């Protein structure tokens, strides 16, 4: 079991997206234009961390002066604080290999993207997310706030370089997992008791349900879509719902384990509900002028449920609904302890 967990972590940390980076036409100052830059973007990494090598590649063709560098895919400015793998899973309905991105050295869209001052901003964003995840899991951020400067630097260096062993050296001290069905977060003392074969499990969080840090990216695609490759590109970020909401582990009556479907049903109820009343509530929001049929059959309800959620991707893997949620959370989370889930839903608007 521990070996399988180790293998999953290595694959997640080693995951990469092949990138083909093109210099934006307006930023080209050499003739002929430079060839695109080919590289691998770590799934758990961030686009701004690639800027030094990209700059080196295009150095002969860049406009003079310094401005904030940014990336674009099919007209959409890319959020630098979202991990590369998540952007890829969300924006490429059909995985595009290599993924063609455009890099800009001018005209930072500051009304769309938060400011970015290079590596320092990415590090701050990562530490911020880690602090937030720590708060979710333990009820406070103290284990991160109390890290020494040396440990913070070592942790960040490990993330930047994709150094899993270096990361584990520091992160195990934060005591942030793994999540378990009984709602307890395993701590050093709990582990010690288990090794001693104690029948009485210590329950430091007994008064507080365990919460799993989850970030959902919900993308609408055409309702009648049959092939995911026919999805229209994302043209603006307003059409993607970003939901930063932890999932609370609660024992569900009659279930031996919590499925991914159940977790998503809790976090995104309107995309899973087949209840006539809920459907009626959703109608005004969707601008649907059809009359809701209260006598709709259960078979039709099942059809409705199936057509709503078309695809779920985590770390590039399309997951079945019945997979245990805690397995997904423990094995496919990012280095800031967030599980990033891309959800494709069929919508009438698109």
Partner 1 sequence: MGGVGHGTLSLDSFSASAAALVKRWKEIEVDDSLPDWAWKPCCKTGGPSELEGYLALEGLYRDCGGSQEQIEENGNSDGADIFACDTWVQSSSYNVHVYDFHVVYSYSYKVPVLYFQAHRSDGQLLTLDQIKQDLPSDSLKVLSESKWTFITREEHPYLSRPWFTLHPCATSDWMKLLLEESKVAYEEQSLRYLPAWLSVVGQAVGLKIPLELHCRS
Interface with partner 1 by CB under 8 A: which residues? 79, 81, 110-115, 128, 131-132, 135-136, 139-141, 213, 216, 218, 237-238, 240-246, 267-271, 281-282, 285
Min. distance of Cβ 141 from partner 1 in angstroms? Answer: 6
Residue with tokens 């979202």: 82
Cβ distance to partner 1 smaller for residue 54 or 127: 127
Min. distance of Cβ 267 from partner 1 in angstroms? Answer: 5
Min. distance of Cβ 135 from partner 1 in angstroms? Answer: 6
CA pair distance 96, 347, nearest whole angstrom:
23
Q: Computed from CA positions of residues 80, 9, 191, 260, in that sequence, does the dihedral angle turn out positive or negative?
A: positive
∠ CA 223-227-229 to the nearest 5 degrees?
Answer: 105
Cβ distance to partner 1 smaller for residue 64 or 287: 287
∠ CA 248-4-325 to the nearest 5 degrees?
Answer: 20
CA pair distance 315, 13, nearest whole angstrom:
10
Cβ distance to partner 1 smaller for residue 30 or 286: 286
Q: Pick from 171, 201, 176: which is nearest to 187 by CA?
A: 176
CA pair distance 120, 228, nearest whole angstrom:
37
Chain length of the chain: 350
Q: Computed from CA positions of residues 307, 313, 317, 320, in that sequence, does the dihedral angle turn out positive or negative?
A: negative
Cβ distance to partner 1 smaller for residue 172 or 244: 244
Min. distance of Cβ 251 from partner 1 in angstroms? Answer: 15
Cβ distance to partner 1 smaller for residue 193 or 350: 350
CA pair distance 100, 77, nearest whole angstrom:
13
Residue 171 near residue 130 (C-beta atoms within 8 A)? no
**What residues are paired with 141 via a beta bridge?**
none
Min. distance of Cβ 237 from partner 1 in angstroms? Answer: 4
Min. distance of Cβ 156 from partner 1 in angstroms? Answer: 18
Min. distance of Cβ 37 from partner 1 in angstroms? Answer: 28
CA pair distance 80, 340, nearest whole angstrom:
15
Cβ distance to partner 1 smaller for residue 96 or 248: 248
Q: Please give the span between the terminal C-alpha atoms of the chain, in angstroms, as a whole number.
A: 44
Cβ distance to partner 1 smaller for residue 198 or 235: 235
């Amino acid at each position: 079991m521990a070996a399988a967990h180790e293998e999953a972590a290595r694959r997640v940390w080693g995951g990469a997206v092949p990138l083909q980076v093109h210099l934006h036409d307006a930023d080209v100052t050499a003739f002929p234009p430079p060839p695109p830059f080919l590289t691998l973007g770590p799934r758990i990494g961030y686009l701004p961390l690639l800027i030094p090598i990209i700059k080196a590649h295009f150095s002969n063709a860049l406009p003079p002066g310094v401005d904030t560098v940014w990336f674009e895919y099919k007209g959409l400015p890319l959020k630098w604080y979202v991990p590369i793998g998540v952007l890829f899973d969300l924006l490429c309905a059909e995985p595009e290999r290599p993924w063609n991105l455009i890099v800009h050295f001018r005209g930072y869209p500051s009304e769309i993207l938060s400011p970015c001052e290079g590596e320092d901003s990415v590090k701050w964003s990562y530490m911020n997310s880690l602090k937030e995840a720590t708060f979710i899991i333990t009820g406070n951020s103290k284990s991160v706030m109390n890290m020494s400067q040396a440990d913070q630097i070592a942790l960040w260096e490990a993330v930047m370089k994709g150094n899993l062993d270096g990361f584990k050296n520091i992160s195990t001290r934060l005591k942030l997992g793994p999540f378990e069905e009984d709602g307890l977060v395993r701590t050093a003392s709990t582990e010690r008791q288990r090794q001693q074969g104690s029948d009485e499990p210590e329950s430091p969080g007994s008064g507080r349900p365990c919460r799993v840090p989850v970030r959902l990216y919900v993308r609408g695609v055409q309702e009648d879509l049959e092939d995911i490759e026919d999805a229209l590109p994302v043209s603006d970020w307003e059409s993607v719902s970003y939901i930063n909401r932890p999932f609370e582990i609660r024992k569900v009556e009659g279930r031996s384990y919590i499925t991914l479907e159940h977790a998503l049903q809790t976090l995104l109820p309107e995309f899973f509900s087949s209840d006539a009343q809920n459907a009626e509530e959703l109608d005004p929001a969707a601008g649907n002028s059809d009359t809701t049929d209260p006598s709709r059959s259960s078979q039709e309800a099942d059809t409705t449920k199936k057509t709503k959620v078309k695809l779920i991707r985590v770390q590039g893997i399309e997951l079945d609904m019945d997979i245990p949620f805690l397995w997904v959370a423990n094995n496919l989370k990012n280095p800031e302890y967030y599980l990033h889930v891309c959800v494709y839903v069929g919508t009438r608007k698109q």
